[in-house]
Amino acid sequence: MAKKSAEPAEPKRLNRAVGVAEALGGVLDSALKKRGFATRDILANWAAMAPKPYDKVAMPAELKWPRGAGHEGATLFLRCAESQRLALAHEAPLIAAAVNRYFGYFLVREIKLSAAPFIRSSAPRPQNTTTPPEVARHADQAVAEVDDPALKDALKALGERILSGKR
C-alpha cells in the first residue's frame, strides 16, 4: 500500500493570464464552504435575488443544513441593519421564497437573523451637491462666452467643483 504524503500538492499552473476573480476563486470557495455555501452564487447575486429593500440592508452570513436530513432545505442566516431586524423577521418567508425562486429549487427552508453586525457595502455615498452662490456666480461668469450649451454646462460644473474644492 502506498502512503499519501502529508505535504500539500503543488498548485496547478494555468500557463495563461487569469483574472482576479478566477485566481481567488479557490481561496474564496474553501472559505465559503466553511460557512455552508456550496458556491458564491448567493453572495454574488444577493442584490438580484433579495426583495427590495432587503438587498441593501441585509447580507447572507451562513447557510446551515440540517443533520442527516438529505435535502430538506437549509436555514439561511442573514446579517442585517439594526433598524431592519423586526421587518426582516416578519418578511422572512418572502425572502426565502425569493431565494428559492432565484435558484429554481427548494434551497432555503427558513431565514434567521445572525448576531453578527451588518457592515454596509463600500459603495460611494452621495455627496452634498449644494454649491455656495458666490462659487456658482463666479463659475457662471467664467463660461459666459461659450456658445455650446452642453459644453457650457460641463465647464460650469467643472468650475464649481474646482472652486469649491470638491473632488
pLDDT in tens, 54-74: 888 888 888 888 877 666 788
Percentage, residues of the chain above pLDDT 90? 8
Using DSSP's 3-state secondary structure scheme, residue 31 falls into helix
Query: Which domains are present in the chain?
Result: 24-113 (3.30.300), 133-164 (no CATH)
- The whole-number average pLDDT for the span 3-20 is 68
Q: Which three cell numbers stand for residue 94?
A: 418572502
Specify the pLDDT at position 61: 85
Structure confidence at residue 161 as a pLDDT band (50, 70, 90):
confident
* Nearest by Cα to 156 from 133, 130, 167, 144: 144
Selected residue with higher pLDDT from 45 and 78: 78
State the distance between the two ends of the chain, measured CA to CA, in whole angstroms. 68
Which residues have CB under 8 Å from 79's CB, separation 6+? 58, 59, 60, 61, 114, 116, 117, 118, 119
Cα 118 to Cα 115: distance, rounded to the nearest angstrom: 9
User: Phi and psi dihedrals of 145, rounded to 5?
Assistant: -85, -5
pLDDT over 70 for what percent of the chain? 71
Across 36-45, 56-65, 87-96, 137-146, least confident range: 36-45
Q: Tell me the pTM.
A: 0.54
pLDDT bin (cut points 50, 70, 90) of residue 95 is very high
Round the average pLDDT of the chain to a whole number and report it: 78
